[in-house]
Structure 1
Amino acid sequence: MTTADHAPAPLSRALLVWGTAIVAYIVAILHRTSLGVAGIDAVERFHATAAVLSLFVVVQLVVYAAAQIPVGVVLDRLGPRKLIATGAALMAVGQLGMALAESVPLAIVARVLIGAGDAMTFVSLLRLLPSWFSPRRVPLFTQLTGILGQLGQVASALPFVYLLHEGGWTTAFTTVAVVGAVAAVLVVALVRDRPAPPAPGEPHEAPHVVHAPRPDAALVDGVLPDLSLRAVLRTPGSWLGFWTHQLTAFSLTTFVLLWGYPFLVLGQGLTPQEAGALLTLNVIIAIVAGPLLGEFTARRPARRSRMILVIAVLMVVAWASVLVPATPRPMWQLVIFIVLLSLGGPASMMGFDFVRTSNPPGRLGAATGLANMGGFLGALVTTFAIGLVLDVVRPDGRYVLDDFRIALSVIAVPFAVGFVGLLVSRRAVWREMGRLPPARGA
């Protein structure tokens, strides 16, 4: 007897639970990206060099990445609701710390709290999906999760920047902290880990589904699966998810979290408003591309990795188009750059589908955490390396385009590593496919 990881529930109830968790995720992205648009203000407030400024983001990313597997293991045991609420509360405290901090050490402590809370949010939200939606709908809702979460980036690029410039540092970050606290309360009130089992005799949509008391109690083909972390690490599909996320997400994350705004304003000569509009375009592209890639994933699972490789090549071409020329690019070319770079967001979400189709429900949290580490490990190394190079080539901090061209070129290394990792892990999945159903291909 096989149990599904989802239970029958009215779609309206499923959407309410998912929508509330999405609100928490949007606020988490706002917390995550707020320092990126406040980078120039942070230099003045903390009298920081480029290396110190990048350290704020790197510390946040180190905590985020390091927490992924531990959070995933705890998630499989405690459930998504507790972790999403705890994460929202931690980030609210962290943003309040940023509002009050006037020294680098205090700001770093605040970023640690934000990174820890952020680490609990996304993987927990993904863990909700198979509990509330049918397997056919999960790829689409995975993409929608990534898309809607990026509204937090829009909030940091527009209303947060307005608050920062009009009300000042303390007002802007305190406001975001209050929003985070409200998100935590909403999660506690409205989110549940899974639908309640129907009462005896009560009609429901899928009578064949057997309700397991815990997600890790589900049987797979009548056998209790190995739910250990070791099993996650031995599964090729887990690593294919890791390298997919690394290859497609790391440069976009680096660009959005810190170096994109200075590059566009100081390197390309755009106004803050123009730079904010381009950063917002990233979200629009995700809204368009995400559902298309989600439907492609559901219909053509055996071609997922091929699509990932195509998108990664397009991202490399996009970076070359703005880093090779020695003069600022016209706006139309920067728009194309952002469009191609932004494809990495929805493409990285495809990595979680490799995880979902390669692991039993009871270890999805740990496996999702492993995959989610990929892009953020690449981003933290890249972000810090860019800051170090900028300090070497322009110690006075008066950056020009050539400085960014040199510093941002370090992205070539993680791109190369990501391509190799993806190809190696894909071959491992192909070898395993000899004993797996075709739908679980790559």
Structure 2
Amino acid sequence: MTAGTPAKAPPPRLPGDPPGGSRAVAMWSIGVAVYFLAVTYRTSLGVAGIEAAERFDVNASALSTFSLLQLMVYAGMQIPVGLLVDRWGTRKVLSLGIVLFTTGQFGFALADSYPLALGCRALLGCGDAMTFISVLRLGARWFPARRGPLVAQLAGLIGMAGNLVTTLVLARVLAAFGWTPTFAGSALGGLLALLLVLSLLRDAPPGHQPDTAHHGQTGYVRRQIAAAWAEPGTRLGMWVHFTAQFPAMVFMLLWGLPFLVEAQGLDVGTAGILLTVVVLSNMVVGLVYGQTIARHHRARAPLALGTVGATALLWAVVLAWPGRAPTEVLVTLCLVLGACGPASMIGFDFARPANPPERQGTASGIVNMGGFTASMTTLLAIGVLLDLTGDDYRVAFSAVFVLQALGVSQVLRLRGRAQRRERERTVTSRVEAVHVPAQT
């Protein structure tokens, strides 16, 4: 800015916008800390797949069932959790989630049979399902709407730091101390998280608590789901999440390490470094995407579709490469996979302006269900194809392209409709802003 040039005024707050500030950061940070812990537990199997196969004496299909069941529970819980968050509030839902995923992680540490271990991962998935939607709602309640894209991307970024702990710390602890001490020790973090939530967390700033009078009315659940689904922005957000998230999720959650070790001939240490590259790339790209979308809302669809295209291209190069792919190609693949998480978060930026505050949890649940449904489907497909083809990773990982094609077709179909509807809502909000003075 040059001398004499007036400073650009910040965008006006919409009617009902919360004030933000340091207390908002503190409340949001508690919620994000819980999400960080949940991601650490969720991805812990990603560095223990080989040990799990030996401990429970299972093949590839049975091993994939661990993550498949966990994601099946997670995906199936998204709409119920969204309804619970809208009805109970963040604090209660997060507390229940912590109890469930901590119990699941501790039980997994002690499990000595495959069925018991499956039950523990399902319990973990149920608790994990309650965290991210709660954090999104917490951000919407404590921060102005214009901060939404950046706050959501930051939440995803910090969650990926939990994945970083898994690849950098948990893998080494597992190698040094073994199965039970590693998983049982990590479960202690849940006790601290529960104490923080119960003693300090508040759902919303004073004067911004949601109206809950209608929650007890007959047909509330049906109306919430129907109204959220009726918005093209909600459906578009779900398909963006579906299409963008799953390649990296499948890679990090279970099949990345076996693919790099068994199909590409890397040692476990080098494969672990490449998994870390995915996490670091995710964190950097998340910041870039969040800032870009906050300033240029029209960049949402190009960023999402561009990421999907780059992911498909790099997977095609790696799978078509004769023999083992060069290290620099694998590094590039991991860098591009790191953009999948931030690209999937764009789905929430389509659903958020399409729904009023009292429906944000339900809409977020619908969106979040997309990526985890795709991940669940791909995890199963890869495990089955590996068993049918005698561990042919080229054939197995080709399942990625089928789901990407389906998702892109739906994104293109809904994009124009959602944008028109969003413009209509924006005009309405601006008219209201003229007649309702902004809060100070």
Given the two structures, how large is their TM-score scaled by the length of structure 1?
A: 0.89
Alpha-carbon shift at residue 71 of structure 1 (Å): 0.5
Q: Which residue of 1 aligns with 2:333?
A: 337
Q: Which runs of 5+ in 2 are unaligned?
A: 1-12, 215-221, 430-440
Q: How many residues align?
A: 411
Contact 2:74 2:125 in 1 (8 A): yes
Contact 2:354 2:425 in 1 (8 A): no
Could you tell me how far apart the structure 2 residues matched to 1:164 and 1:299 are? Answer: 43
Amino acid at match of 2:400: I
Amino acid at match of 1:146: G
Q: Which residue of 2 aligns with 1:221?
A: none
Contact 2:100 2:124 in 1 (8 A): yes
2:18 to 7, 12, 18: 7
2:43 to 20, 28, 33: 33
> Relative to structure 1, is the Cα distance of residues 250 and 5 closer, same or farther in structure 2, using a 3 angstrom cutoff?
farther
CA displacement 1:38-91 (0-9 Å, x = unmatched): 000000000001000000110000000000001101110111111112111111
Alpha-carbon shift at residue 190 of structure 1 (Å): 2.0
Q: Which residue of 2 aligns with 1:61?
A: 71
Could you tell me how far apart the structure 1 residues matched to 2:178 and 2:159 are? Answer: 26
Q: Does 1:437 align with 2:392?
A: no
> Relative to structure 1, is the Cα distance of residues 216 and 304 closer, same or farther in structure 2, using a 3 angstrom cutoff?
farther
Q: Does 1:236 align with 2:232?
A: yes
Q: Which aligned pairs between 1:185-334 and structure 2 lie closer than 5 A?
A: 185-197=195-207, 211-214=208-211, 228-334=224-330
2:360 to 364, 368, 371: 364
Alpha-carbon shift at residue 7 of structure 1 (Å): 2.8
Could you tell me how far apart the structure 2 residues matched to 1:266 and 1:216 are? Answer: 57
> Relative to structure 1, is the Cα distance of residues 141 and 439 closer, same or farther in structure 2, using a 3 angstrom cutoff?
farther
**Secondary structure, counterpart of 2:366 in structure 1:** helix
Q: Which residue of 2 aligns with 1:206?
A: none
> Relative to structure 1, is the Cα distance of residues 435 and 136 closer, same or farther in structure 2, using a 3 angstrom cutoff?
closer
> Relative to structure 1, is the Cα distance of residues 173 and 404 closer, same or farther in structure 2, using a 3 angstrom cutoff?
same
Could you tell me how far apart the structure 2 residues matched to 1:367 and 1:167 are? Answer: 43
Alpha-carbon shift at residue 302 of structure 1 (Å): 2.7
RMSD over aligned Cα atoms: 2.1
Alpha-carbon shift at residue 432 of structure 1 (Å): 3.1
Alpha-carbon shift at residue 286 of structure 1 (Å): 2.0
The percentage of aligned residue pairs carrying the same residue is 42
> Relative to structure 1, is the Cα distance of residues 436 and 3 closer, same or farther in structure 2, using a 3 angstrom cutoff?
closer
Amino acid at match of 2:292: F
Could you tell me how far apart the structure 1 residues matched to 2:315 and 2:374 are? Answer: 16
**Secondary structure, counterpart of 1:359 in structure 2:** coil
Contact 1:321 1:337 in 2 (8 A): no
Contact 2:311 2:337 in 1 (8 A): yes
Q: Does 1:351 align with 2:362?
A: no
Could you tell me how far apart the structure 2 residues matched to 1:212 and 1:12 are? Answer: 18
Alpha-carbon shift at residue 101 of structure 1 (Å): 0.8
Alpha-carbon shift at residue 154 of structure 1 (Å): 1.1
Contact 1:34 1:160 in 2 (8 A): yes
Q: Which residue of 1 aligns with 2:386?
A: 390
> Relative to structure 1, is the Cα distance of residues 144 and 328 closer, same or farther in structure 2, using a 3 angstrom cutoff?
same
Contact 1:55 1:384 in 2 (8 A): yes
Alpha-carbon shift at residue 307 of structure 1 (Å): 2.1
Could you tell me how far apart the structure 2 residues matched to 1:6 and 1:269 are? Answer: 54
**Secondary structure, counterpart of 1:158 in structure 2:** helix
Alpha-carbon shift at residue 266 of structure 1 (Å): 1.3
Contact 1:129 1:138 in 2 (8 A): yes
